[in-house]
Amino acid sequence: MLIVQKFGGSSVADARRIEHVAQIIAQTYNAGNELVVVLSAQGDTTDELIEKAREINASPSKRELDALLSVGEQISVSLMAMQLEKMRLPALSLTGWQAGIETDSVYGDARIKTASTERIRAELGKNRIVVVAGFQGVNEFDDITTLGRGGSDTTAVALAAALHADKCQIYTDVEGVFTADPRKVPKAHRHETISYDEMLELANLGSQVLHSRSVELAQRSGVVLEVLSSYVKSPSTRVGAFDESTEKAAVTGITADRTMPDAAKVSIVGRGLTGTSGAVEIMLQALGEADIDAQPLPAGERSFSALVPKEEADRAVRVIHRKLFEE
């Protein structure tokens, strides 16, 4: 079986966590699988590199910034390959361009055009674990490009599609896709399966589990994603072309987007969410009963949002979740 595994920055943040992830990789490899591993930069490395750039130039060119930021993922993959070598496992690290990730020339937010897999297949043929730097590629001018925040998810999906992988596993710091962030809402429920469309809506509205572009690519390519924890063994969530319930206004989850300067956008995601649906009424009623000021926004087919004060975002999510899922 050919498996692509992706691990985020928090999963490889230090030597102890790199060793832990290496154990997961070893278990998969020793079970007789061919294995490609995609890694993000360690912890806050990308933010730290941006700050280093600003110490030199407050407005660096996007081309040079991409050249700098790509270093973070290269550090992760080389350290992981060293750890696997220490465990006497055959491993090889590759940068994005070495792995055949070709992109357009939109520096800082490039899109993958092709993923040629000759080098990866050659290394797999030698029974090696191939560790690939996520988030990066190379354009037609042989310049390094980066794919935007969360781009390592997209790298993993692109490679899974190009390699016709049997599995594409996205390891995160939560145990799958939940009805709300389980770190903020302890009674949030994990989904066993979720459709591409629902996952894409959640990603676009502030969920941090998967990058929206990776979900779009998975849907176009027919790659089923498995979202699971890199910290504990637990059931996963599968993201794919699964049948959705025909129940009107069935709510999938609740998100909070804090990227706006003056407010947070709290949203419910589901099906048939119109301005008069029961779920919308419950959401607004819950906010009112909790004395949380809310400004409703126009309802979409799959989502309904309201603006709330930023400091009330977490409480708003908990209140709505309790009304919709716990009572």
User: 118-141, pLDDT tens digit by residue?
Assistant: 999 999 999 999 999 999 999 999
pLDDT digits (tens, 9 = 90+) for 166-179: 999 999 988 999 99
Domain at 2-172, CATH from 3.40.710.10, 3.40.1160.10, 3.30.390.50, 2.60.40.180: 3.40.1160.10
Residue 271 pLDDT exceeds 80: no
Fold of 251-326: Alpha-Beta Plaits (3.30.70)
Q: How far out from the chain centre does Cα 162 lie?
A: 19
Range with the lowest mean pLDDT among 100-104, 204-208, 215-219?
A: 204-208
Indicate if the pLDDT at residue 274 is higher than 70.
no
- Residue 174 near residue 183, CB atoms below 8 Å: yes
Per-residue pLDDT tens digits for 198-207: 999 999 888 8
Is the pLDDT reported for residue 190 higher than 80? yes
Residue 253 has a pLDDT of 93
For residue 45, what pLDDT is reported? 94
Sketch the domain layout of the chain as residue ranges: 2-172, 251-326
Residue 263 banded pLDDT, cuts 50, 70, 90: very high
Give the CA angle between residues 145, 150, 153 to the nearest 5°.
95
Same fold, 2-172 and 251-326: no
What's the pLDDT score for residue 65?
A: 97
Pairing relationship of beta strands 264-270 and 295-296 according to DSSP bridges: unpaired
* Beta bridge pairs of residue 305: 267
* Model pTM score: 0.91
Beta bridge partners of 178: 190
Q: Rounded to an integer, what distance in angstroms lies between the CA atom of residue 30 and that of residue 36? A: 13
Q: What percent of the chain has pLDDT over 70?
A: 96
Strands 225-229 and 237-240: antiparallel
Query: Can you give the pLDDT at residue 287?
Result: 93
pLDDT at site 246: 46
Q: What is the mean pLDDT of the chain?
A: 92
Q: Where are the beta strands (DSSP E) in the chain?
A: 2-7, 34-39, 91-94, 101-103, 112-115, 129-133, 136-138, 144-146, 167-172, 193-195, 225-229, 237-240, 251-257, 264-270, 295-296, 303-308
Residue 248 pLDDT greater than 50, yes or no: no
Helix, coil or strand: residue 213: helix
